[in-house]
Structure 1
Amino acid sequence: MVFTTIADGLARGVEGVSSTVSETFFEPVIRLGVTGLARSGKTVFITSLVANLLDRGRMPQLTAAANGAIRTAYLQPQPDDTIPRFPFEANLAALTGASPRWPEPTSAVSELRLSLKVQPQGMLGALSGPRTIHLDIIDYPGEWLLDLALLDKDYDGWAAEALARLDTRPMGRAFADLAARTDPAAEFDEPLAQRLAESYTAYLQEARAAGYSDCTPGRFLLPGEMAGSPVLTFAPLPPVAAGARTGRGALRREMARRFDAYKREVVKPFFRDHFARIDRQVVLVDALGAIHAGPPALEDLRATLAEILTAFRPGRNSWLSSILGRRVERILFAATKADHLHHAQHARLTGIMEALVRDARSRADFAGARTEAMSIASLRTTVEDTITHEGHPLEVVRGTLLDGGRRAAFYPGELPVDPAVLLAPAREGAPRWLDGDYGAMHFAPAPLTLRRDEGPPHIRLDRAAEFLIGDRLK
């Protein structure tokens, strides 16, 4: 049974509605962008973070929670009435109910405002009294984040990269065959364009399911109301043969036009409208899933993370400043599902995450943004145990399997102390791991019994919060 602090705490709902817009102008606002690459648990991260800020008993490494600076926290109406509200209450009920289940993932942008009454520390703080700080959480699909890099590419460059990736992705053979049979100089034909786009989309869906991270354009995977529109009806095609003439009605030329329209009508407005004031960003990553999928998926993840940071270019001279409006001050890359490992391996997972973003981080840090990599579990679903295997102790985790509901002990394999043991063969194009086999398991959320003033159990969510917002709560 879940105690009333969380379940009944939902009744707190919206508090402080009497605050006027003019008052809000004088209250600090932290705009936190939250996104996640495939299967990283973005919805659970936001739900658990908010629940643990409302009830802070499990947040000792968030300084403002540990020293009592946060006097109270409550939800308020979000400032943008045109954006759907993040369904916090429904998600929390799904995770903490009598029969807990994973909430439905979000497929579009949403927002939530959490307001914190904070007592500044020191003599001046004692004189000034508590102040209100608003945390605006902007939730958006990771698939759309990858589109940011497209703004710096033309159709020729993107098509060449997309077609080259097909050589290392077996699920792309059907589209590769269709593209090879297509004459890019032929007269444009809408049914053919639709077949190409459908085949390319099917390939992207299979690639994402197989553990690959770079699956652009992102709206092909989550089209929403744009499904079937011309702006989503294009695909990469090889260059026109030397000497061939292509008029305005040629197939490849129309594909290039639609690619430019996608950047202009879909990508730019999305980032302009929703990221004009973001100053903190967290990118959630299923690094364990990529390791399980094999070296090609891990290398694809490394390249994708580098491209994300390169696209953000989070310094004062960002080329995206006209879209983002201000520089992103802090970026956290968090490897999720740390509860799938015994704590003895958490440092190794963090080391792998740090190595995955090392090259790009150095550029971001130089540009003035702080970046951090860590391993977390937004909701802890397992307990640790030690079993005897072939006469030797083996450190495992136990949880309830998502399929079938059976309790099981799980050992995913021993991650290397040196991340290069994984990253080197991944960069070299190894098709599989030679010295290890890394498993993956899907666990269901465990039934919870929560004490008063206590949020859902997690691993290092308080450290993530300290890095992302802790400096603004002093």
Structure 2
Amino acid sequence: MNFQLPDSARVFGQRLANQHLRLGITGISGAGKTAFLTSLIRQLTQAPSNQLPFFQVMQQQRYLGGQCIPNAVAARARFPFELNLQQLQQGQWPASTTALSQITLQLRYKPQHPLKQKLLEWQTLTLEITDYPSEWLLDLPMLQSDYPQWCQQVWALLDSEPVRDLAAPFRHQLAQAELIADALLLQQLTDSYQQLLLTIKQRQLAVMLQPGRLLRPAELQGAPLLQLFPLLPEQLASSSPLKDQLQRHFHDYQQQVVLPFYRDYFAGLDRQVIMADCLGALNRGHQALTQLQQALMLIMQHFSYGPDNWWRRLFKPRIDKVLFVASKADLLTPDQHRNLLLLLQQMLQQPLYQQRYQQCETEALAVAAVVSAEFGQVQTAQGQTHCLRGYLASTGELQTWYPGEVPLSMPSPQLFAHHQFAFPEFLPLVGPAPAYPQQLRMDQALQFLLGDHLR
């Protein structure tokens, strides 16, 4: 029997139908986080349904549309979606994130359940996404160290290949310094350490560079607590005014920068995306791949869902879904996408197991948030060969490329001694909207992250 609800019941039901979801996107610098977030927003606000075949709410013609709305915190900078999209449409990659920003989307859809259809004309999902520099994320392990322990960890990195020679001038300058709490000396040594970190980052020689705010200071530019660098082991062995000052700065950095950022940002996350650029790490060699794995493992340790751990006591996380993304899949021929996925899964084997054990739903995908190369085949003496065609990011020249194969598992150092990976970097493909920018498997990502909230 059909019946019509009074308008008052529909209004009340509509108020109950509003949902709120907080999504976090985490990745090491270079993973393509800005492009991923820009593409995700575009798919939800502009993309036609035929571009998202695995996003069920669109394929069932229940999706009514999405729009950007003002952020709840008016003082927080807005993620520059429109500018980023314009740059992608012009064939340029948007600039990396340099400060905290946020964007809020309102998604409207028809309910799937017959009873909800009686009560509601539509439902609303408010999606809140906060963006931040990836460098800040790597400060998280500092919360579990004191200053001497942190110094030991930093010098273990600086004394290793391939950064030892780069760090030698800073080591010498530090060894010659008087251990006094002089403001000019503090700033000079901080400047030298900051330049060392920036050089290592620019040359992509290491991942765990701390403190992250020396790389991306944002509003802390010039703040005294950023006068922070690691003393040498022999300088830590005895008390000194310089050591005391640096210990105070380290504690202030923990309590006033790292702790509030992670508490405010991660406390209420519902869903999380963790991104990794495995191809870029393969290009740089075995040590880079190992460092990427270690950095991801360190980060994920602090998203533990186990009972009664310090992170839960402090932040009370409630993330119930985690999507692991092997980014830049378009830089491979399609037959290698499965290999890329298997490589990421092996790199994260232990965290994936722990997440499942802790009843957190996980998924792993090889994704291209923005496609930058066309796949094709060419005839060679050996027969048909898979290839890519695109405009090289380094020169802007149109190039046909044979990217080769991705190892199925973590390759040994011996493999790198005899083989050089050379996965290219292309500029975004340009074409008429709404077909461009193109994407690969963003519909599957959306279905996993949002599908259960759009029923």
TM-score, normalized by length of structure 1?
A: 0.85
Counterpart residue number, 1:216: 210
Gap change, CA 1:370 and 1:193, over 3 Å in 2: farther
Q: Which position in structure 1 is the counterpart of 2:454?
A: 473
One-letter identity of the residue aligned with 1:394: T
Partners of 1:340 and 1:358 lie apart in 2 by 24
Q: Deviations over 1:60-101 (max 9, x none)?
A: 1122222223222222112111211111112112222xx432
Q: Which amino acid aligns with 2:198?
A: Q
Question: Are the equivalent residues in 1 in contact too, given 2:342–2:409 (CA < 8 A)?
Answer: yes
How far apart are residue 389 of structure 1 and its match? 4.8
Query: Which of 154, 162, 184 is the matching residue for 1:170?
Result: 162
SS of the equivalent of 1:204 reads helix
Change (3 A) 1:324 1:448: farther
Supply the AA of the counterpart residue of 1:396. Answer: C
Question: 1:258–1:64: structure 2 CA closer, same or farther, 3 Å change rule?
Answer: same
Partner residue in 1 for 2:5:
none
Q: Which amino acid aligns with 2:430?
A: P
Partner of 1:437: 420
In the TM superposition, residue 253 of structure 1 has moved relative to its aligned partner by 2.7
* Alignment-derived partner of residue 460 in structure 1: 441
Q: Is the 8 A contact 1:184 1:237 kept in 2?
A: no
Mean alpha-carbon deviation: is it higher for 329-338 or for 202-211? 202-211
- Report what 1:64 is aligned to: 57
Q: Deviations over 1:115-143 (max 9, x none)?
A: 11122213223223221111111111211
**Distance (Å, rounded) in 1 between the aligned partners of 2:321 and 2:453:** 12
- Distance in 2 between residues matched to 1:372 and 1:194, nearest whole Å: 46
Aligned twin of 1:263: 254
Match of 1:328, SS state, is coil
Post-superposition CA distance 1:204-223 (Å, at most 9, x none): 22322333322222111101
Q: Which amino acid aligns with 1:103?
A: P
Partner of residue 409, structure 2? 419
How far 1:171 moved relative to its partner? 3.1
Task: Show structure 2 runs of 5+ residues with no match.
Answer: 1-13
How far apart in 2 are the matches of 1:275 and 1:140? 12
* Cα deviation, residue 411, structure 1: 2.0
Is contact 2:430-2:437 (8 Å) kept?
A: no
Match of 2:3 in 1: none
Q: Does 1:109 align with 2:103?
A: no
Structure 2 residue corresponding to 1:83, chosen from 73, 76, 81 = 76
Instruction: Quote how far apart the aligned CAs of 1:304 are.
Output: 0.4
* Structure 1 counterpart of 2:190: 197
Contact 2:387 2:402 in 1 (8 A): yes
Give the whole-Å Cα distance in 2 for the aligned partners of 1:338 and 1:40.
Answer: 11
Cα deviation for residue 325 of structure 1 reads 4.3
The match for 1:141 is: 133
Contact 1:235 1:255 (8 Å CA) reproduced: yes
Q: Determine helix, strand or coil for the equivalent of 2:298.
A: helix
Aligned residues: 437
1:105 & 1:408 partners in 2: Cα distance?
25
Question: Deviation of residue 399 (structure 1)?
Answer: 0.4
Alpha carbons of structure 1 residues 218 and 238: separation in structure 2 relative to 1, 3 Å: same
User: How far apart, CA to CA, are the structure 2 residues paired with 1:228 and 1:25?
Assistant: 47
Match of residue 11 from structure 2: none
CA distance in 2, matches of 1:203, 1:169: 14
Report if the CA contact (8 A) 1:34-1:140 is conserved.
Answer: no
Identity over aligned residues, as a percent?
Answer: 32
Secondary structure of 2:181's partner?
coil
Deviation of 1:192 after TM superposition, in Å, equals: 3.0
Larger mean CA deviation between 291-300 and 100-109 belongs to 100-109
TM value normalised by structure 2: 0.89
Of the structure 1 ranges 193-202 and 108-117, higher mean CA displacement relative to structure 2 is found in 193-202
Alpha-carbon offset, residue 24 of structure 1: 7.7
- Work out which of the residue numbers 233, 241, 245 in structure 2 matches 1:254: 245
Question: Do 1:185 and 1:240's aligned partners in 2 also have CA atoms closer than 8 Å?
Answer: no
**CA contact 2:333–2:403 (8 Å) conserved in 1:** no
How far did 1:382 drift?
Answer: 0.9
What SS is found at the alignment partner of 1:312?
coil
Deviation at 1:468, TM superposition (A): 1.7
Deviation digits for residues 159-204 of structure 1, max 9, x if unmatched?
1111111232433434345335527993333333323322222222
**For the residues of structure 2 that align with 1:236 and 1:24, how far apart are their CA atoms?**
54
Q: Single out whichever of 151-160 and 324-333 deviates more from structure 2.
A: 324-333
Task: Give the Å deviation of 1:292.
Answer: 0.3
Partner of 2:8: none
**Which residue identity is paired with 1:419?**
S
Which range is displaced more, 309-318 or 278-287?
A: 309-318
**CA distance in 2 between partners of 1:415 and 1:435 (Å):** 15
1:383 matched to 2:366? The reply is no
